[in-house]
A and B are shown apart, each in its own frame.
Chain A
Amino acid sequence: MLDGQRAEAAVRVRGTQDGVRLLLPPTVPFAAVLAQVRDLLETRAAFFRGAALTLDFTEREPVLDEIVALQQVLDARGVRVQAISAGTAEYRERLARWGYRTEGAEPARRLRLIAPGSEEEADGNATYVRRTLRSGMSVEAAGHLVLIGDVNPGALVVAGGDVLVWGVVRGTVHAGRNGDTEAVIAALRLAPMQLRIANLVARAPDRGAQHLDAPALARVADGQIIIEPWRIERR
Chain B
Amino acid sequence: MEEQQDRNGRVITITSGKGGVGKTTTTANVGAALAARGKSVVLVDADIGLRNLDIVLGLENRIVYDIVDVVEGRCRLRQALIRDKRLANLALIPAAQTRDKEAVSPEQMRELCDELRQQFDFILIDSPAGIERGFRNAIAGADEVLVVTNPEVSAVRDADRIVGLVEAAELPPPRLIVNRIDPELVRRGDMLSVDDVLEILAIPLIGVVPADESIVTATNRGEPVALDPQSRAGQAFRDIAARLLGEDVPFQPLEVPNGVWRRMLRALGFGGRA
Contact = CB atoms under 8 A, between A and B. Distances in A.
Interface string B140-174: 00000000000001000110110111010000000
Contact of A152 (B165, B167, B200): B200
A135 B157 contact: yes
B202 interface: yes
A136 B165 CA distance: 9
Interface string A150-170: 101110000000000000001
Contacts of B164: 134-137
A127 interface: no
Contact of A154 (B160, B165, B167): B160
Interface residues of A, number: 10
Most chain A Cβ neighbours within 10 Å, of B158, B161, B164, B167 = B164
A150 B161 contact: no
Contact of A153 (B160, B163, B165): B160
Contacts of A170: 200
A154 B157 contact: yes
A150 B157 contact: no
A132 interface: yes
Interface string A83-97: 000000000000000
Interface of B: 131, 153, 157-158, 160-161, 163-165, 167, 200, 202
Given A136-B165, A152-B160, 14 more contacts: A132-B202, A134-B160, A134-B163, A134-B167, A135-B157, A135-B161, A135-B164, A136-B131, A136-B161, A136-B164, A150-B200, A150-B202, A153-B200, A154-B157
Interface of A: 132, 134-137, 150, 152-154, 170
- The list of the 5 closest CB pairs from A to B, nearest first, reads A134-B164, A135-B160, A135-B161, A136-B161, A134-B160
